[in-house]
Amino acid sequence: MFFFREALKQYKLKKSLTYTELAKKIKIPTSTVGMYIRGKRNPSIQKIMEIFQRLNIDLPSWSEIKKMEKRKKSITKNSATS
């Protein structure tokens, strides 16, 4: 769920929040925030919706999600061949 990781990471950076501050804001453990951002754990769609609502982030459309996933695969592929 690349789109979720990126949205969470960008929100954290934009607001200059620590993992702990972000965790408090979305009411989940700090370790879980870290796992989400590093891609070690994926939340359910329901949890993503809750988190986005708490952070006042608009959910991307399905086509936007697919574009982000495709771009990520392209970046990963280009990095591997460099």
Q: What is the pLDDT of residues 7-30, one digit of tens each?
A: 899 899 999 999 999 999 999 999
According to the model, what pLDDT value does residue 59 have?
A: 74
Tokens (6 digits) for 56: 């006042």
Compute φ and ψ for 39, nearest 5 degrees.
Answer: 80, 20
User: What is this structure's pTM?
Assistant: 0.71
Q: What is the pLDDT of residues 26-56, one digit of tens each?
A: 999 999 999 999 999 999 989 998 999 999 8
Residues 6+ apart with CB under 8 A from 27: 54
Can you tell me the distance from the alpha carbon of 12 to that of 16, in angstroms, rounded to the nearest whole number? 6
Domains of the chain: 2-81 (1.10.260.40)
